[in-house]
Amino acid sequence: MSSICKGDNSDLTEERKNATFDTDKMAAVIYGREEIASRRRQLTESISRIHELAESKPLVFMTREEKIAESCRKLEVLSRHWNQTPFNRDNEEDALHIYREVLGMEGHPLALHDTMFIPTLVAQASQEQQEKWLGRARRKEIIGCYAQTEMGHGTNLRKLETTATYSPDTQEFILNTPTITALKWWPGALGKSSNNAIVVANLLIKDQNYGPHPFMVQLRDEKTHIPLKGIVVGDIGPKMAFNGADNGYLGFNNHRIPRTNLLMRHTKVEANGTYIKPSHAKIGYSSMVKVRSRMAMDQGLFLASALVIAVRYSAVRRQGFLEDKTQKVKVLDYQTQQHRLFPSLARAYAFIFTGFETIHLYSQLLKDVDMGNTSGMADLHALTSGLKSVVTHQTGEGIEQARMACGEHGYSMASYISEIYGVAIGGCTYEGENMVMLLQLARYLVKSVELIKSGEEKKLGPMVSYLAAKGGHPDLSSLNGYVTAFEHMARRQAWKATEKFLKLMETGESREVAWNKSAVELTRASRLHTRLFIIEAFMRRVSRIEDIPVKEVLTDLLHLHVNYELLDVATYALEFMSSTQLDYIRDQLYLYLEKIRPSAVSLVDSFQISDMQLRSVLGRRDGNVYENLFKWAKSSPLNKSDVLPSVDKYLKPMMEKAKL
């Protein structure tokens, strides 16, 4: 995919010839193992040979109805190919990659079926219930989704208003939506596609509220697909992005379901209304950690996609002159352009590496929990909360800078970057709003500082042990020195924010008010802690690389990263770093921009994101941008006719009338 082909734009070919490393080997580092990277290439190659899977026209030319229809069409085609080599429908990573290639990132009608509906049945349904539903779900006899959030209540489970009241007479639960804010709102694939849903509702038995529980609810007739009586269901309307998804609303009006539709693996309600508690409480908690663990990687890949487009196009686009007055300069040679793109490129790599490490920590944790050791949970939960927040924010920033680095054509949907932005930036809000997430991590940091203050620093989790260390004068002659400097700033801010909070309580403020008055300082502490972790994860990954050329260029990228990061938070270095040191960091930063420059195109090629998946005219592998931009524009919907009906109807009469 990254190889040089005949007919490619010669500027891109020149860049690729200059690569100091093998992009396949880099891909193996990015995706963890050579087998995974080559598996991705193989799948991409196989998909490209199934012509029915090609997009009937660019997604950006489609209405929401057309996008959904296109996804449905392709899902039907895929359903006929799943069992052919090399596809393996049971491999989750395969499925994700195939969906990304074929369906793209804008959502589709089965998006929740595989990722939430089936896993919830697996985790929460009893043996008997699984026998009843799981096979049907896996064969796609039914399509399901997961309906939890409500119009007035985002991710706060405790505030849900939907009720499921048990009626012992009929052995049924009666579902109700007591207020407008209790409408289920946002669940993916709920609006139009799913005929079943896992619905989270408050379980009420004889006026006692047992809190939110999951229920299997049929929404629509399996034959006609018409909503059942007592159910109000529909699409919540257009969104900033994800417009190929039918996020939905759902309301109940005395809708009855059998008692046995409560998912009963952990909780039971007996026929007479006896409630049997789950054996342990924290169910669902770990799936949240799992989703957030993945986010660093997913977001890193969103950022990567935007950079593939921007870096390639910056090697194709020429503007102005430098030394040589006979040839215009590739815009990638401008320092301002490098400064817009390369620190983000370093972050994309860092996020992906951090993502892999977190996913690994998560599976470790599951094993530990199985062995009865839950000590790592708080550490990882806090970390993933912070990561989710920092990574989504920086990804959004980086994607927008990438788009702007493409000049005016970046603004065209032909670049597709604004769509990537819309999808990625959603991550700042879903799965826990970023400010809430930062404050969750802050709670952990405050507790940790309090432990140290009370002399119990031995109880500190491994990720916060640096909070107890002493900081020295920063020594920027090595990467470790940078880490020490960063640690010092993170520690200082964690202590400062904690002291502020404690002092406010001492002066008589309630815990909540003191917390609120320290909140911004606390979020600052959380960001520093998280950014420190990302730097360290990047370092750990690079240290394990064996291929020398790959390691060399990633070491340069890591240097770029630490210099950029440290400069970016240098406000916290007041009275601790000198102006001379800061100047040194800046000089290093500019030096590493220059060092990365020759490898830039190969560094983005190494993500091995196919043209099919990229969906960008500007980011094409072959670099033949302008002729294809013209082709793309000519085929866009407004150009179907020379004269728009609205011109005939309104403008022509208006002009004619003016002549009278």
DSSP summary character for residue 153: B
Q: Which stretch binds a copy of itself (CB under 8 A): 13-21, 82-90, 565-573, 600-608?
A: 565-573
Overall residue count recorded for the chain in this entry = 660
Strand partners, 199: 147, 215
Interface mask (CB under 8 A) for a copy of itself, residues 361-400, using x and -? -----------------------------------x---x
Task: Give the nearest distance from C-beta 316 to a copy of itself in angstroms.
Answer: 11
Q: Which of 422, 461, 474, 619 binds a copy of itself (CB under 8 A)?
A: 422
Q: Which stretch binds a copy of itself (CB under 8 A): 15-23, 141-149, 164-172, 307-315?
A: 141-149
Interface mask (CB under 8 A) for a copy of itself, residues 445-484, using x and -? ----------------------------------------
Question: Does position 253 bind a copy of itself by CB under 8 A?
Answer: no
Measured CA to CA, the distance from residue 81 to residue 75 in angstroms comes to 10
Say if residues 36 and 339 touch (Cβ distance below 8 Å): no
Nearer to a copy of itself, 517 or 540 (CB): 517
Nearer to a copy of itself, 461 or 619 (CB): 619
Q: Which of 227, 230, 273, 471 binds a copy of itself (CB under 8 A)?
A: 227
The pair phi, psi for residue 581, each rounded to 5°, is -65, -40
Considering only CA atoms, which of 86, 78, 3, 91 is closest in space to residue 43?
Answer: 86
Other CB atoms closer than 10 Å to residue 557's CB: what's the count? Answer: 24
Q: Which stretch binds a copy of itself (CB under 8 A): 19-27, 83-91, 143-151, 291-299?
A: 143-151
Annotated binding site for ATP: 339, 389, 393, 401, 524-527, 572
Question: Does position 143 bind a copy of itself by CB under 8 A?
Answer: yes
Question: Does position 433 bind a copy of itself by CB under 8 A?
Answer: yes
Q: Which stretch binds a copy of itself (CB under 8 A): 16-24, 139-147, 161-169, 600-608?
A: 139-147
Catalytic residue among 357, 431, 487, 565: 431
DSSP codes joined into one string, 438-502: HHHHHHHHHHHHHHHHTT-GGG--GGGGGGGSPP----TTSHHHHHHHHHHHHHHHHHHHHHHHH
Question: Does position 90 bind a copy of itself by CB under 8 A?
Answer: no
How buried is residue 443: exposed, middle or buried, by Cβ count under 10 Å (0-12/13-18/19+)?
middle
Task: Give the nearest distance from C-beta 182 to a copy of itself in angstroms.
Answer: 10
Residues 619-638 that bind a copy of itself (CB under 8 A): 626-627, 629-630, 632-634, 636-638
92 as an active site residue: the answer is no
Interface mask (CB under 8 A) for a copy of itself, residues 330-359, using x and -? ---xxxxx-xx-------------------
Annotated binding site: 146-149, 154-155, 188, 282-285, 292, 317, 337-340, 389, 393, 401, 430-431, 433, 524-527, 572
Task: Give the nearest distance from C-beta 507 to a copy of itself in angstroms.
Answer: 14
Say if residues 304 and 348 touch (Cβ distance below 8 Å): yes
Over the Cα atoms of the chain, what is R_g? 27
DSSP codes joined into one string, 90-122: T-HHHHHHHHHHHT-SS--TTHHIIIIIHHHHH
DSSP codes joined into one string, 123-146: HHS-HHHHHHHHHHHHHTSS-EEE
Please report which helix (H) or strand (E) contains residue 405, including its range.
Answer: helix 377-405
Q: Which of 1, 36, 50, 69 binds a copy of itself (CB under 8 A)?
A: 69
Nearer to a copy of itself, 39 or 74 (CB): 74
Residues 163-182 that bind a copy of itself (CB under 8 A): 180-181
Annotated binding site for substrate: 282-285, 292, 430-431
Nearer to a copy of itself, 121 or 460 (CB): 121
Residue for token pair 């109807």: 649
Tokens of 167: 């009626």
Buried-exposed string 518-533: b where 16+ CB fall within 10 A, e elsewhere: bbebbbbbbbbbbbbb
Which residues are part of the catalytic machinery? 431
